[in-house]
Amino acid sequence: MRPLDVEAVQAFVLVADLKSFTRAAEALDTTQSAVSLKIKRLEEGLGRRLFERTPRMVRLSAEGGTFLEPARALVAAHRTAQAAFSIEQRRLAVGVSHHIVGAELPLLLRRLNGAGPAFSIELRVGTSRQMLDEFDRGMLDAAITMGHEYRRDGGEQVLEEEFAWMAAPDFDYRSGEPLRLATQAAPCTVRSMALGVLDDAGIPWTEVFVGGGVGTIGAAVSAGLAVAALGRRVAPADTVDVGAKFGLPALPSRDVTLFSTVTDSRGRDAVRTLVAAIRSTVA
């Protein structure tokens, strides 16, 4: 067996985590073909097939699953060795809108945790307005926010978030009755968007659950308490879009945008990996 190429092993871990050669290439600031070549050579060197590939899906093979944790350990040890003579501790503060992070939060934290011992990353989650305000005041190095009522120049589009009226499959609603809603506490631009769309359509509503972030709102929806305006990407897997079923008005999509003042290579690598991890959650 040939010695392992650490860069190829790093590419393997990224593809496994992000479930996408394209997103792994974004995180590594390279091309999809270059990542594919690294994986092919790694597979040839190991004599094992690490991924099962279809046009729509990438998943670990059984042998890839066996290799994943040792591969993580190798990448981590390599980063520790590289940082052995690092004197300066790099701290990166990133703010993310709470409407953007959902079930993928453990993945984001895993990617951030892999930056190395001389690199500390602070991840703050709050409203888009809060994150932009902290970014403007120099409290954050980067902010990933969702555009609603405000317009702001600059920034890099991460993705377009599609919203839908999400509910438990057995949620009961009769036309003419107030629509039972789970919302974020005011002020919240997603809340304002949802209520404005209902008011314009003349649909009565009542807030029966006020949560703090996608996680709590999603839990209320999964429990059958209410309907919520949620991004399809972050809605709980056991919920369904009930907009057509109940005759609810369509919800607009919103841009998710990155604002950053990061200029050093380590910081840019971390931010790029975070963005790729968020994009990887798009079905």
The 10s digit of each residue's pLDDT in 3-58 is: 888 999 999 998 998 888 988 898 888 999 999 999 999 999 899 999 998 877 88
Distances (CA, A) of 36 to 26, 31, 40, 55, 273: 13, 9, 6, 14, 18
pLDDT confidence bin for 149, thresholds 50/70/90 = very low
pLDDT confidence bin for 126, thresholds 50/70/90 = confident
Place of tokens 């479930």: 19
* Per-chain mean pLDDT for the chain: 86
The answer to whether residue 123 scores a pLDDT higher than 70 is: yes
With beta carbons less than 8 A apart as the criterion, state whether 93 and 143 touch: no
Distance of CA 97 to the CA centre of its chain: 10
The answer to whether residue 187 scores a pLDDT higher than 80 is: no
In sequence order, the 6+-apart residues with CB closer than 8 A to the CB of 91 are: 120, 121, 122
List the domain boundaries for the chain: 6-82, 90-160+255-279, 163-252
The answer to whether residue 114 scores a pLDDT higher than 60 is: no
Most confident stretch, 76-80, 183-187, 250-254:
250-254
Q: What is the pLDDT of residue 89?
A: 67
Top-level class of domain 6-82: mainly alpha
β-sheet bridge partners, residue 125: 96
Q: Say if domain 163-252 classifies as CATH 3.40.190.10.
A: yes
Tell me the CATH architecture of domain 90-160+255-279: 3-Layer(aba) Sandwich (3.40)
